[in-house]
Amino acid sequence: MNQQNPTSPRATDDDRVAVDDHVRVFDTTLRDGEQAPGFSMNRSQKIRLAHALEELGVDVIEAGFPQASPDDFAAVAQIAGELRRSTVCGLSRCLPGDIETTARALEKAKSARIHLFLSTSPLHREHKLGMSKQQVIDTAVDAVRRARALCDDVEFSAEDALRTEHDFLAEIFSAVLDAGAVTLNAPDTVGYTTPTEVAELFAWLRANVRGAERAVFSAHCHDDLGLAVANSLAAIGAGARQVECTINGIGERAGNAALEEIVMALRVRAPHYAVDTRIDARRLYPTSRLLSRLTGQALPRNKAVVGENAFAHESGIHQHGMLKHRGTYEIMRAEDVGVPPSRLVLGKHSGRHALRQRLEELGYTPDEDRLGVIFDAFKQLADRKREIHDGDLEALALGRDPDQ
C-alpha cells in the first residue's frame, strides 16, 4: 500500500480519495452502545440521536433490539418511521418470534435491515447454545430464509467469530449467503483479536466463502484490549466494506470501536487505505457532544478526534512549531471534525451571551432560567479558575461540579 505524502500531512474533505466501493458505516450506538451501563437513553433521546446519526451520513443505524422490550420496539418503530436516508436496522436472535417482531418494528422504514446473530465459536456452541456445528448452520439458514421472506436486506453475524474455526466460519457464511444474507459480519465479541489476526481472517474469508464476491464483509470489534479501532482498520485493509462502531466508542464492557476514530484514520491516511466512508466529518464533534449530553457522560479530555485536548497545544516547543506551520504538530484541523471555529476563551469577564453561544456550540440549549443558573455557577467558577474549558462548561450544563 502507498505511504502518505509527507509534504501534505493534513487531510481535508477536498483530499478524499474518489472510490466507489466505500466503507459502509453501521452505527450501533443505539443498540450495542446504549446497552452498556451508564449509557441508557429514553425514547425521545434515542430519536434525537438517530436523526443526528442520519445527518452525520451513517449508512446503517442499528436502532435497537425490538424483542428486548416494548420500549425498544417502540423506539425502533419510531426511528424506522422518521428516517429517510439511512437504513434502519433491528437486531434479532435466530428465533421465529424475534424475526417477526423485528420485521414489524421496521415496517415503516424506507430502507430496512434485519440483523440476525448466532454464536459460532466452540466455547459458545458448547456452553451457551448446546448445539452441534450442523445445528448451528441449520438454525442460521432457517432464520435467514425467514428474515428474507420479510425483508430484502439481511445481515448475519457469527457471534464470537474471532474465536471460531476458520473453516466452520467459511462454511456457515457460505450457507447463509446462499440462503439470502447480504452482509456477513465477523464480530470480535470479546475484544480478543489483534490487527494481524483479524486481517488474516478477512483475507481468508474472502478467498474461501462460496459466493464471497456477492457479500459485504463486516467488522464489529470490541475494545477489551484497546484494539477495537486498530482491528477495524486492519479488517478494512483486508477487504471489509462495512464497519460496525459507536459514537465515542461506547458499548459493552470497554466499548466498541469509535466511529469518529475510524472515519478520521481512513481520511487522514487516505492514500494508505484508499477507501473512504460517506460520513460528513464536520458533524463528528457535534454528534459526539450530543451523545455526551444525552447520556450525561463527559468525555475524557484526551479522547482522540473529539476530546477537548485533541487540538490543544500547550507546550512551548509545539506552539512555536505550530506558529511556523500548523502541519508540524497537527495531522487534521479542528474544523475538519466540526470543532466550532470561534473557540471563545471564556473567563470571569465573559458575559451571558458568550456563555450561551459556547454552550450552543457544545450542543446545549438551556432555556433562560436554566441559563441563569449555569451563568451564576460559571461566574463562581471563573473566580477560582483562570481559564474555563469546554469540559467545565459541560459539567455546569449537566448540573455537575466541574472540580469533581
Binding annotation for Mn(2+): 32, 220, 222, 256
Residue of 26, 117, 202, 375 interacting with ligand KIV (CB under 6 A): 117
Cell 465459536 belongs to residue: 121
Partner interacting with residue 375 (select from Zn ion, ligand KIV, none; CB below 5-8 Å by kind):
none
Q: Output the DSSP codes for 247-310.
A: GGG--STT-B-BHHHHHHHHHHTHHHH-------GGGHHHHHHHHHHHHT-PPPTT-TTTSTTT
Considering beta carbons, is residue 255 or 363 the nearer one to ligand KIV? 255
CB atoms within 10 A of CB 27: 30
Considering beta carbons, is residue 78 or 246 the nearer one to ligand KIV? 246
Task: Provide the minimum distance between the beta carbon of 29 and ligand KIV in the complex, in angstroms, as a whole number.
Answer: 12
Considering beta carbons, is residue 32 or 171 the nearer one to Zn ion? 32
Partner interacting with residue 66 (select from Zn ion, ligand KIV, none; CB below 5-8 Å by kind):
none
Residues 134-193 that bind ligand KIV (CB under 6 A): 157, 159, 187, 189
Instruction: Sketch the per residue contact string, 73 through 112, with ligand KIV: x for CB under 6 A, - otherwise.
Output: ----------------------------------------
Report the distance separating Cα 233 and Cα 219, nearest Å: 9
CB-facing half-sphere around the CA of 316: CA atoms within 13 A = 0
Partner interacting with residue 87 (select from Zn ion, ligand KIV, none; CB below 5-8 Å by kind):
none
Considering beta carbons, is residue 257 or 294 the nearer one to Zn ion? 257
113, with CB counted inside 10 A (0-12, 13-18, 19+), is buried
Task: Provide the minimum distance between the beta carbon of 107 and ligand KIV in the complex, in angstroms, as a whole number.
Answer: 22
Give SS3 for 242. strand
Considering beta carbons, is residue 222 or 293 the nearer one to ligand KIV? 222
Task: Note whether 32 binds ligand KIV by CB under 6 A.
Answer: yes
**393 and 359 Cβ atoms separated by less than 8 Å:** yes
Residue of 146, 220, 267, 303 interacting with ligand KIV (CB under 6 A): 220
Task: Note whether 223 binds ligand KIV by CB under 6 A.
Answer: no
**359 and 365 Cβ atoms separated by less than 8 Å:** yes
Task: Provide the minimum distance between the beta carbon of 125 and ligand KIV in the complex, in angstroms, as a whole number.
Answer: 14
Task: Provide the minimum distance between the beta carbon of 44 and Zn ion in the complex, in angstroms, as a whole number.
Answer: 25
Q: Map 81-124 to HEC letters.
A: HHCCCCEEEEEEECCHHHHHHHHHHCCCCCCEEEEEEEECCHHH
CB-facing half-sphere around the CA of 234: CA atoms within 13 A = 17
Q: What is the DSSP letter of 135?
A: H
Partner interacting with residue 157 (select from Zn ion, ligand KIV, none; CB below 5-8 Å by kind):
ligand KIV
Binding-site residues from annotation: 32, 220, 222, 256
Partner interacting with residue 289 (select from ligand KIV, Zn ion, none; CB below 5-8 Å by kind):
none
Helices 166-179 and 133-150: crossing angle in degrees, nearest 10, is: 30
18, with CB counted inside 10 A (0-12, 13-18, 19+), is exposed
Instruction: Sketch the per residue contact string, 332 through 371, with Zn ion: x for CB under 5 A, - otherwise.
Output: ----------------------------------------
| Residue in the shown chain whose Cβ atom is closest to Zn ion | 32
Instruction: Sketch the per residue contact string, 23 through 62, with Zn ion: x for CB under 5 A, - otherwise.
Output: ---------x------------------------------
Partner interacting with residue 159 (select from ligand KIV, Zn ion, none; CB below 5-8 Å by kind):
ligand KIV
User: How many residues bind ligand KIV, per CB under 6 A?
Assistant: 8
**256 and 245 Cβ atoms separated by less than 8 Å:** yes
Considering beta carbons, is residue 31 or 146 the nearer one to Zn ion? 31
Give SS3 for 154. strand
Considering beta carbons, is residue 117 or 364 the nearer one to ligand KIV? 117
User: How many residues bind Zn ion, per CB under 5 A?
Assistant: 1
* 28: CB partners within 8 A, 6+ apart: 62, 220, 244, 245, 246, 251, 256
Picking from 337, 368, 343, the residue whose alpha carbon sits closest to that of residue 358 is 343
Residues 329-358 that bind ligand KIV (CB under 6 A): none
Picking from 203, 135, 219, 199, the residue whose alpha carbon sits closest to that of residue 170 is 203
Binding site residues, Zn ion, CB under 5 A: 32
Binding site residues, ligand KIV, CB under 6 A: 32, 117, 157, 159, 187, 189, 220, 222
